[in-house]
Structure 1
Amino acid sequence: MKKLVLVAIMGVLMISCNEKKKEQEKIAKDPNLEVHEKIAMANGFEEFDSINKVKFTFNVKMNDTVRSERKWAWNLKSGKISLTEKDSTMSYTRKDSLAKEKEYIDQRFVNDSYWLLFPYQLKWSDAKFSDAKTAKAPISEDEMQMLTVSFPSEGGYTPGDSYDIYFDEDYMIQEWVYKASGGGREMATTWEDYQDFNGVKISKMHKSKDGNFELFFTDVSVE
Structure 2
Amino acid sequence: MKKSISLVFISFALISCNNTKNSSGKNEEKQVISEENLSTAEKIADANGFKNWKDVSEIAFTFNADRGENHFERSWIWKPKTDDVSLISSEGITINHNRSSMDSLTMQTDAKFINDKYWLLAPFQIAWDEGTTFSEKEKVLAPISKDTLNQLTIVYGNVGGYTPGDAYDFFYDKNYKIKEWNFRQGNSEAVSMSTTWEDYENFNGLEIAKTHKDSTGNFKLYFTNISVKN
TM range (shorter): 0.7 to 0.9
Q: Pick from 187, 192, 196: which aligns with 1:186? A: 192
Asked if 1:84 is matched to 2:124, the reply is: no
**Match of 1:160, as an amino acid?**
G
8 Å Cα contact 1:51-1:76 kept in structure 2: yes
Asked if 1:55 is matched to 2:60, the reply is: yes
Counterpart Cα distance in 2 of 1:205 and 1:149:
21
Counterpart Cα distance in 1 of 2:108 and 2:154:
26
1:1-223 matched pairs, under 5 angstroms? 32-66=37-71, 68-85=72-89, 86-95=91-100, 97-126=101-130, 127-181=132-186, 183=188, 186-223=192-229
Larger proportion of helix: 1
Q: Which runs of 5+ in 2 are unaligned?
A: 1-34
Counterpart Cα distance in 2 of 1:35 and 1:75:
28
SS at structure 1 position matched to 2:75: strand
Counterpart Cα distance in 1 of 2:80 and 2:168:
26
Counterpart Cα distance in 1 of 2:134 and 2:36:
17
8 Å Cα contact 2:61-2:227 kept in structure 1: yes
Counterpart Cα distance in 2 of 1:162 and 1:45:
22
Counterpart Cα distance in 1 of 2:161 and 2:191:
18
| Larger radius of gyration between Structure 1 and Structure 2 | 1
Tell me which moved more, 102-111 or 129-138. Answer: 129-138
**Structure ranking higher on relative contact order (CA contacts 8 Å, 6+ apart):** 2
8 Å Cα contact 2:181-2:194 kept in structure 1: yes
Change (3 A) 1:77 1:182: closer
Identity %: 42
Deviation at 1:77? Answer: 2.1
TM-score (norm 2): 0.80
8 Å Cα contact 2:45-2:124 kept in structure 1: yes
RMSD: 1.3
Counterpart Cα distance in 1 of 2:141 and 2:191:
20
